[in-house]
Amino acid sequence: MLPDRIAFPGRVLFLSEDADKVRRQLAGEDLEVTAALPLRDQISTDEITPAWICYHYDETLGEFPYLGLKCGDAFPVKAGAVKAGGFSVSVAGKRRGKGSSREASPYAEWCAGIRLVIAESFERIYRQNGQNLGLLTSTDLGLVARIRAGEAIPLAEFTEGLDPITAGIVRRGGLFAYNAARLRGEEVPPLPDHGPRPMTYAEKLLAQHAVADAASGRIGLPAVAPGDGLFAKADWRFSHDYVTPMAASFLEKALGPEAVLREPATILAFRDHLTFLHHSMRAEHRAQGLLDVAQRLKPAQEAFCARHGIRLHGELPDGSGSEGICHTLMAERYVLPGQVVVGTDSHTPHAGALGCLAFGVGTTDIAAAWVTGDVRVTVPPTLRVRLNGRLRPGVSAKDLVLHLLAQPLIREGGALGHVVEYQGEALAHLDTDERATLTNMAAEIGGFTGLVAPDAETVRFIRERRGVTIALEPWMQGDDAAQYAQTLDVDCAALGPMLARPGDPGNGVALADLGEGVPIHIAYLGSCTGGKREDLRRAYEAIKEAAARGQRVPDHVAFYVQCGSEDVRRHATAQGWIAAFEAVGAVVLGSSCGACINAGPGVSTRADQVTISAINRNFPGRSGPGQMWLASPATVAASALAGHIVGA
């Protein structure tokens, strides 16, 4: 248990928008709050720990926090600087920790000596990861003056407003310690006790899966409400190659090498992120031995899966790619309506398109879930997004979600930690692949997950992809009188193709308002968001006439096509789409996350390069040092042919 009062004897680091102010602090100067302003908002985990840093999964991470932090046009933090500076508190602005669910980010901060992170607001997964590790969090900037005055802060200030389970985790100093106490009977989480109430579909899913009695295994509660803390039984638990070794390491440290996993048949692992890394790693990183470090993740994952009988979707025998990206395969092969699914990736909500509650968790969460079979959840509020009308021909789900990301409610954090439930007429005209783009990018919206209640299209998709006919149950929809935190209405018929300017998925701009075409160097069609069947079909429609007449992409443009799974690639080949892409000069790659995670062909190599990409996020350094625009698959394909950004 942590003491009742916590002292922070180290220094305070303000993550300012001004690179010089950050450098001065790293050089030994202490700034007052007012002198450090404005603070950086929307710091992503890509900036806290760029992807290449996450090849490490031990205390070495303490040398690297904030290496990707962009302040203006500069990157002021160098390796070892935070640790050497003696900081114990780190302060930032709004939406701290957005983006990937990588627990390497708060773990790097912890290993560098940070014990408290303060921000005006936090992304859910980042804050939860910090709590799981014992890293304290607060939204009270007034703590800085008190800490500098030598005051020990009451622990109660860090648990105020938290549900009882999360508060218990904070008091215990982390999730493993809390779960150990829970298994000993020393922590008995109080159960929500509500009378009958109308519930949203997400609330129904959590009520159905709530652990009512851990000792007997009884599952299910009559009702839950936003703010309730509970443990929910997970139907599927999965991890990918970046995270499995770190989670296995955490598990072994906490419970020893003989830890027994619960229901290993419902645990999956994927080798999907780093299969093409050797094609794209920068020379300076190779010189630092990072390729060797990264390649150790593969045998570590394989050994863990073999030891525990976990199915691993790995690399193809010929080395041409992987079986598929975890999110794509989960949707195509595994998840069913009414299930709860957790995975070590912020884009786990992809599967919410099939009517399941799918959400990303961190390393400690998944390691604990392997043993307990459940995962802790604070029941989130629900943001209802009503998709009114119908999207016009040529306008896709990607355009729709880029429009949403540019809305003030989303930009200002109004959806943070919410279930984003899509409803409305437009859904009837979107297939499951398109719906998956909407739910997948709930991660960029800042949501807990994205969700679509299952319907006839869900039944069709599962029958088509798996040859299985399912029956939906009457409870699989929200109640008419369910309460929503907010409702966001969208006039879908008024939308046209969209883009996101470099730097953030929320930098939305209508393609029609772009003006003169922006020249491009790279066009990338792929990732879980942009490599589904429907994505490739729409991109094919944009280039098929050019392929038929022998037109090719300009010499200065590199066009890459990378399917989300080998199942998708086989389908695209049978339809003739792959041949058409190759006919216009595209390089077709085996399935992998690839360039989306800065690990494969399609990444930029120079700051002056411009990329147009179908992936889901374009944070600084996410896919190389260049300038990345986000767009729909059709816009990416059309732009590849034109040599500049243009509509299909």
CATH number of the domain that residue 361 is part of: 3.30.499.10
pLDDT tens, 295-322? 999 999 999 999 999 999 999 998 889 9
pLDDT of residue 206 exceeding 90, the answer is yes
pLDDT tens, 522-544? 999 999 999 999 999 999 999 99
Q: How many domains does the chain have?
A: 4
Residue type, 115: R
* Shared-domain flag, residues 258 and 385: no
* Shared-domain flag, residues 403 and 515: no
Give Cβ neighbours of residue 121 (< 8 Å, ≥ 6 apart). 94, 95, 96, 139, 413, 416
pLDDT at 574: 98
Helix, strand and coil content of the chain, in percent to the nearest 5, comes to 40, 20, 45
Report the DSSP beta bridge partners of residue 630: 500, 613
* Shared-domain flag, residues 355 and 422: no
Q: How far is CA 206 from CA 414, 477, 552, 635, in A?
A: 22, 13, 51, 38
Other beta carbons less than 10 A from residue 120's beta carbon? 16
Q: What is the CATH number of the domain that holds 109?
A: 3.20.19.10
Is the residue at 209 inside a domain?
A: no
* Shared-domain flag, residues 533 and 421: no
pLDDT of residue 444 exceeding 90, the answer is yes
Asked which of 19-23, 280-284, 327-331, 558-562 is least confident by mean pLDDT, the reply is 280-284
Percent of the chain with pLDDT over 70: 100
* Shared-domain flag, residues 390 and 365: no
pLDDT at 376: 94
Q: Which helix (H) or strand (E) is 239 found in, with range?
A: strand 236-240
pLDDT at 142: 97
Is the residue at 65 inside a domain?
A: yes
The region that residue 163 occupies, defined by phi over 0 for left and psi between -120 and 50 for alpha, beta otherwise, is: beta
> Which residue among 332, 350, 375 closes a domain?
375
* Shared-domain flag, residues 66 and 37: yes
Which whole number is the average pLDDT over 497-523? Answer: 95
Is the residue at 542 inside a domain?
A: yes
Is the residue at 213 inside a domain?
A: no
CA–CA separation, 176 and 178 (whole Å): 5
Is the residue at 439 inside a domain?
A: yes
* Shared-domain flag, residues 446 and 566: no
**Between vectors from CA 618 to CA 546 and to CA 57, what angle results, nearest 5°?**
125
CA–CA separation, 550 and 565 (whole Å): 28
* Shared-domain flag, residues 457 and 508: no
* Shared-domain flag, residues 492 and 503: no
Which whole number is the average pLDDT over 505-522? Answer: 94
Which whole number is the average pLDDT over 478-500? Answer: 97
Percent of the chain with pLDDT over 90: 90
pLDDT at 110: 97
pLDDT class of 157 with cuts at 50, 70, 90 = very high
pLDDT at 306: 96
> Which residue among 319, 346, 375 closes a domain?
375
pLDDT at 69: 96
pLDDT class of 22 with cuts at 50, 70, 90 = very high
Is the residue at 320 inside a domain?
A: yes
pLDDT at 101: 81
* Shared-domain flag, residues 526 and 634: yes
Full-model pTM: 0.91
pLDDT tens, 209-263? 999 988 788 999 999 999 999 999 999 999 999 899 999 999 998 888 888 999 9
Range of the domain at 606: 499-642
Is the residue at 42 inside a domain?
A: yes
* Shared-domain flag, residues 95 and 147: yes
Q: Residue 125: how many CA atoms within 13 Å on its side-chain side?
A: 35
> Which residue among 128, 144, 178 closes a domain?
178
Q: What is the mean pLDDT of the chain?
A: 95
* Shared-domain flag, residues 158 and 21: yes
Is the residue at 297 inside a domain?
A: yes
DSSP 330: I
DSSP 3-state of 158: helix
